[in-house]
Amino acid sequence: MSRQQRQALDEMLRHGPLDLGGEVAQQRALFHEMMTSIPLPPDVKTTEGELGGVPVVTVETPTTDPASVLLYLHGGAYVIGSAADAAGLAAEVSRRTGARAVCVDYRLAPEHPFPAAVDDALAVYRALLDDGIPSSAIAFVGESAGGGLVAATLVAAKDAGLPQPASAAVFSPWADLTVSGDSATSKTAVDASLTPEGLRTRARDYLRDTDPTTPHASPVFADLTGLAPLFIQVGSYEVLLDDAVRLAARAAEHDVHVELQVWPEVPHVFQAFAALLDEGAAALDAAGAFIRARWADGADTSGE
């Protein structure tokens, strides 16, 4: 059953209209249409708002406990996507954790290059803390570029002297904007979603003249000492496989609690296809369990 599911999903992705490296306005419209083509379940509530001067969309499900928060960062290579586009996947994580998801509508490149996305994510985190939500009741979650942005924001929070959240979970993180991992070459034929050329185009949009090895842009080059416990999932059919593996290795090198799951023969951010792919639902269950366990065990989130 699962192999048939994977093959059907691969065909759907390969023949889809999205071109990551294509003209920005067109790709934004296509991505929005793709992400919103399936309506949200009727029991999912979304509310637009603002935190720290940054637009957010809060996603709630019937089991939501207002005392705990997922700070959710969407994907889209820093150039496309939105908080509203991410509501479906954020809702699935919300169901599995019992926490409301605050999806950050961070500014996009090329109109707003680095470090706008990091600044916005950090501003929302700071606002949550200022609203009285303890860091121990917050988890960061992100997918693709949002996964890399989660790691970058953790580093930025540490550098700003803020406490770390209880945990962070990232799906298929884009954590190296040099696009220099071996999988950028070795996995090109099997990746149905991303190309290294498209990633490099979007990296130029985001970075402009910034060195792509800058830690707040590419956290695989950062000092990750003191970061929150980190949970990383990636598919083996991804050009970003090495980003996930190297991020996990970097975290381990710096004594961070890190768990890495590599799911065989599944595509980029396969969790978003949980309705079509058994592995997607199972991966979300595992991510939810990791987040809940960090809240339950009272892990030290001081970052010291």
Task: Round the average pLDDT of the chain to a whole number and report it.
Answer: 94
Of 265, 117, 298, nearest in space to 205 by CA: 117
Sequence-separated (6 or more) residues with CB below 8 Å from residue 20: 27, 77, 193, 194, 195, 198, 199, 201, 202
| pLDDT, tens digit (0-9, with 9 covering 90-100), for 242-299 | 999 999 999 999 999 999 999 999 999 999 999 889 999 999 999 999 999 999 776 4
Strand order in the sheet with 45-51: 45-51, 54-60, 99-104, 65-73, 138-143, 167-171, 230-235, 258-263
Residues above pLDDT 90, as percent of the chain: 85
Report residue 125: phi and psi, to 5°. -60, -45
Give the lowest-confidence range in 12-21, 80-89, 190-199. Answer: 12-21
Cβ burial, residue 160 (10 Å; 0-12/13-18/19+): exposed
DSSP code, position 260? E
Could you tell me the domains of the chain? 2-293 (3.40.50.1820)
Q: Identify whether 115 is preceded by a cis peptide bond (ω within 30 of 0).
A: yes
Sequence-separated (6 or more) residues with CB below 8 Å from residue 128: 51, 69, 71, 102, 138
Of 217, 198, 83, 65, nearest in space to 141 by CA: 83
Contact 266, 188 (CB under 8 A): no
Whole-angstrom distance, CA of residue 117 vs CA of residue 83: 13
Give the residue numbers annotated as catalytic, written as ranges. Answer: 144, 238, 268
Whole-angstrom distance, CA of residue 231 vs CA of residue 299: 14
Of 222, 227, 295, 212, nearest in space to 258 by CA: 227
pTM given for the model: 0.95
Indicate whether 179 pLDDT > 60.
yes
| pLDDT, tens digit (0-9, with 9 covering 90-100), for 75-99 | 999 999 999 999 999 999 999 999 9
